[in-house]
Amino acid sequence: MFSKFKTLFKGRLLKHVVGRSLKRDAPYRQQRVRSILVFRFDRIGDMVVTTPFLRSLKQALPHASIDVLCSRINAGILRWNPSIANALVLQSGPRVIIQLYKFRNQYDLVIDLNHSVIWRDMLMIRFVNPVWAASVTKDGRYGIKGSDIHLYRIMPPGASLPDKRIAHMYLNLIKAFGATPPSEISYEMYVSPAEQYQTLSRNNLSTEQGYWLVNQHGGRAQMRLNDVDVRDVIKLLLRVDPTSRVLWASSPSTYAEIKRHADKFFRNEGRLQIYEPTHDVLDMVPIVKNAKGLVSPDTSLIHIAAAFSKPSVIVFTAEKALYEQWQPPCAAWSRHIFSKNKKSLDGYSADELLKATELLIEAVGKER
C-alpha cells in the first residue's frame, strides 16, 4: 500500500509541479523559433544515432540556430557537423545550475530526446525556461505518460512506428514541425583532412596498404570478445589478406591489457598495430572511416562504422528488444552474431565469428 501511494505521489509531483506549463508558454508559432537547444548529454553511440534527427531538424527549421547540450564524452562527434551552431558541454555538480541559468530565456525551443519520463530533464527545462519544450514519445512512469505532461507542448503523432529503432523515434518528432522525415536512416560523421592525416600518421597507417579494424571491448566489462577468439580473428585476417595490416583498437583503460596480449600472441608480427588511444572520441573517426572493415562487439564504434557504410561483423547480446532499438542501418555488408545471454556476450559462437570474418574478407574483396 505504501509503495503504491509513493508511486502516486511521485506521479502527481512530476505532472503538477515539475511538469506544469512553462512561464513563457504560448501557442506554438514555428516562424518564431529562432534558437533551439537539444538535450543529448549521454554516450557516444547515442549522439551518432541522433545525427539524422539534427540534419532533419535543420531542414525543417532552416532559419533557427541549433545548439546541442552534450556530455564531455560525446561532444566531439558534433565538432564539424554543419547542422548545429554549438556543441555545449553539460557541466557537473553545482556548476550545472549556474550554466542552466546562463541559458535562461535564451532559447525559444528546448528538445528533450529522452524516451522516458525523467524528472531531471524536466527540471533542467524549467531552469532554461524556453517558450516551448518538445519531446519524443515518452514511456510512462509513476503512472504518468509523456502526453500527460503539460511541459511538453510539442510531441510527435501518437501512432506506433513500424521500425522500432531509436533513430526512427527521434525522426518521428520532425512531423510535429510540419516536415516529412526521411524513411531511411543515415548517420552523419565529419572529420577535417588535417585531423585525419594526423591520426593516421600517428598510428603509422596507410590507406594505400589498407588495414582491418578489430575491437575487443564494449562499453561494459561483460561486453567483450574472448582473448583467444580475437587472436584467431586477427590471425585469420593476416593470413587470408597478406597485403593488409590489422589495427587492434584500444582505449586508455584497455591499452596496457591489449599490449600484453599482442606481445604474447603476435610478438614478431609487424603487420599488427595497436591503436594509440586518446581521450578525444573524434580521433577514432578517421580510423574507422579508412578501415577496410570492422570486427567488434556492440559498442559506439559500430555506429561510427555505419556512418561510413563500413562492412562489419558485430556481436550482440541476446536482448532482442535492445537490438531492435539500436541496430545500425545496414548500408554495407554486415553479419550480426548473438550471444546466449541478454546482459553479456557469454555464449556467442567462436566458429560463427570466424566464419563471418572469412565472409567479411570475401565481401570486401569483391567490392574492391
Sign of CA dihedral 136, 219, 238, 357: negative
pLDDT tens for each residue of 222-279: 999 999 999 999 999 999 999 999 999 999 999 999 999 999 999 889 999 999 998 8
Quote the mean pLDDT of the chain.
91
For the beta carbon of residue 156, count every other beta carbon within 10 angstroms. 20
Q: Where are the domains of the chain?
A: 12-177, 193-367
Closest by alpha carbon to 286, among 10, 76, 13, 63?
Answer: 76
Average of per-residue pLDDT across 138-161: 82
Instruction: State whether residue 270 is helix, strand or coil.
Output: coil
CATH architecture, domain 12-177? 3-Layer(aba) Sandwich (3.40)
Which cell is 305 given? 562504422
Q: How many residues does the chain have?
A: 368
Query: DSSP code of 191?
Result: -
Q: Which CATH superfamily is domain 193-367 in?
A: Glycogen Phosphorylase B; (3.40.50.2000)
Say if 12-177 and 193-367 have the same CATH topology.
yes
From first CA to last CA, the distance across the chain in angstroms is 66
pLDDT tens for each residue of 26-71: 888 999 999 999 999 999 999 999 999 999 999 999 999 999 999 9
C-alpha span between 189 and 79 (Å, rounded): 9
Confidence grade of residue 124 (pLDDT, cut at 50, 70, 90): very high
> Under a CB-based contact definition with an 8 Å cutoff, are residues 335 and 353 in contact?
no
